[in-house]
Amino acid sequence: MQRQRRLETAAQDAILPHFGNPTRGGTSYISGGRIVRIPTGILVAAAMLGMCVPARAAEADALAISAGIQARHMPFGTILDPMYATPASNQIVGYTRCGDSALWTGAYLAAEAFRYNVTRSGDAFNNVKTALAGLKALADVTGDNRLARCMALANSPYAAGIESEEAKNTIHLSGQWIWVDNTSRDQVVGAFFGLGAAYDLIDDATVKSGIGDLATRLIGFISDHQWSPNDDISNTFALRPEELQMLLQVARHVNPSNGISGPFFVLPVETAALVDVLSNSSYYKFNLDYMTFYNLVRLQNNSDNQGAYRIVRDYTVSHQNAFFDIVDRALEGANASRDAEMRSLLDQWLQRPKRETYVDLSHTVPVCGSEACQPIPVPMRPTVEFLWQVSPFQLTGGGDGTIEGSGIDYILPYWMGRYYGAIAGGAVQSAAAPSSAVAPDSLASLYGANLAPGAAQASAQPLPLTLGGVTLSVTDAAGVARAAPLLYVSPGQINFEVPDGMAAGLATLAVSGQTFTAAVQPVAPTLFSMNGAGTGVAAATAIRVQAANPASQTSVPVSAPIALGVDTPVYVSFYGTGIRNRSSLANVVATINGIGVPVLYAGPAPGYTGLDQVNVELVLSLRGSGESNVVLTVDGQTANTVTINVQ
């Protein structure tokens, strides 16, 4: 075979000195009866580029989202989404989604309550009080204890736009406020979801008393007005027995002296659930179901309620929905596969745009009728205010790039995950891309302060167990402690290999008198990218093979569009970590631009500790794809999305 040529020269030359310029090599595998050689020239570049960027820890993202909500999404005390002058502008010119403000304020209340319980943060506690005050204001402004959809100052420059958007729901003036009427059941469900969760999570008497008072006022109005949030029999909770029972259970739980009972005749609790699972239409119904069952099953865990919940759960279990997964964790306990999926989905959420741009995937993913055949990868799904209430099979949607979502769809499942032990705290992640879990024998990074007295870099392999006077001990869920091989140490960052043989579950990392936790699972696939952030152009190599002479191979740069020929197949190696422990090659699936490509190898990259590679063949149907997303799934766990360009 031909002598290997270096690819991505600039990146490689900048990084190789860190490893003492190790010998370059390659990997061979069988394809169609012939041996094909894939070069590994940029393995070190990929590894080190991914490991030298600042941490993108999940908690830091959650905190940034909360700060953004306080700064831009609560102009009148409840959740709204800002509209900007242009997609590139930071000038807010209006607010939208006032009609669902009560619903998302309830969800935000829950998110900050979970955060407070986990962190005891004063900021989280203040946010809880702010959200609760917002919900109370929605009941105060109506004058009769009904819950308004939203409210805004009448003299606000944004009031006219809100009135225009919500005119169909009837606008009222109350003092200095306008408020939106025609409240749906959805708004009440969201509010009670937050009230029920916060009551059990916040150990403050004033907050608990405020929750009890508000829930009592709201259920009092509903019970006196045809069990409807707006005195409309067509909008009665009698048609949604699971929601009605949840309201009653929460109201009694937060105020035991509340004597309100339900109507004389109530439909079986599973009635509406059986209708919901007939189709994916109006998919938001499932989000409301999970909000409902979270409190109902927690507070009244009987066979009827469990059975109704199982109807919804069994239908949606394969929908790759992080919020649904964490509610199931809360109700059913730990499940390694589901919890790993939830963490992976949240990692993927971080790759989504912050503003809502239009998406049309009808020519990008396999389509069955009017929907995608399989759940669409999270980074590709249409942008909306709360991702998990939109069908994962939806092909089109979004906006013009001027509306910013709040991010509650991240912080709610994230902090629930932290509370229920499905997401580890601390700043341990894959070296390749943001992640909530790591795998044995994979490359990882630990971020903190005072981790080492100074900086030191490993100069040879095998990697040392002590570097710069620092050792890192990792104790797995089975209680077995191992020293981690170290690549790099500094006061703020340690790059290491997760020891082989680690048991799945929460691991404890000890270094320099400090302890951290990390979720360990058999596979935790992540891919390196050339920008080091786990996004954009893949850290990969490619070769072109002459079909008539397989020994004749030429390197193909992946930073430029790749041309495909009938007699000159192209093979690409993507580099990552957390892949090698896959159960079988058949359980490694790769798509490029939504098109499945043959995976010929997925395992260790020879010669480099902890580094993995996935070799694929580019099929001719990719011609003309242009810049394309590469989606890798290993044993059901989806890696971060990277890109290549196919001419």
Res. 246: pLDDT tops 80 = yes
Give dist(CA 116, CA 547) in Å, integer: 61
Least confident interval from 56-65, 250-259, 291-300, 344-353: 56-65
Predicted confidence at residue 559, as pLDDT, reads 87
Res. 533 pLDDT band, cuts 50 70 90: confident
Give dist(CA 192, CA 106) in Å, integer: 7
User: Considering the chain, what is the average pLDDT of its residues?
Assistant: 89
Res. 447 pLDDT band, cuts 50 70 90: confident
For 235-261, what is the mean pLDDT?
96
Res. 397 pLDDT band, cuts 50 70 90: very high
pLDDT digits (tens, 9 = 90+) for 325-383: 999 999 999 998 899 899 889 988 988 999 999 999 999 999 999 999 999 999 999 99
Predicted confidence at residue 425, as pLDDT, reads 66
Least confident interval from 211-220, 356-365, 545-554: 545-554
For 420-429, what is the mean pLDDT?
80
Q: What whole-number percentage of the chain has pLDDT above 70? A: 91
Res. 585: pLDDT tops 50 = yes
For 407-411, what is the mean pLDDT?
97
Give dist(CA 185, CA 102) in Å, integer: 11
> Position of tokens 């990259």?
605
Res. 421: pLDDT tops 60 = yes
Helices (DSSP H) in 88-204: which residue ranges? Answer: 101-119, 122-140, 159-165, 185-201
> Position of tokens 């008072």?
213
Q: Which CATH number fits domain 58-353+364-393+405-419: 1.20.5, 1.10.10, 1.50.10, 2.60.40?
A: 1.50.10
Query: Residue length, the chain?
Result: 647
To 5 degrees, how large is the angle CA 139–CA 140–CA 142?
A: 75
Least confident interval from 50-64, 420-434, 467-481: 50-64
Predicted confidence at residue 283, as pLDDT, reads 97
For 611-624, what is the mean pLDDT?
96
CB-based contacts of 70: which residues, under 8 Å, 6+ apart? 127, 130
pLDDT digits (tens, 9 = 90+) for 28-70: 333 332 333 333 444 444 344 334 443 344 677 899 999 999 9
Res. 439: pLDDT tops 60 = yes
Whether domain 428-520 has CATH 1.10.8: the reply is no
Give dist(CA 639, CA 643) in Å, integer: 12
For 492-509, what is the mean pLDDT?
93
Helices (DSSP H) in 367-468: which residue ranges? Answer: 408-419
DSSP state of 174: E
Q: What whole-number percentage of the chain has pLDDT above 90? A: 79
Res. 548 pLDDT band, cuts 50 70 90: confident
Domain ranges of the chain: 58-353+364-393+405-419, 428-520
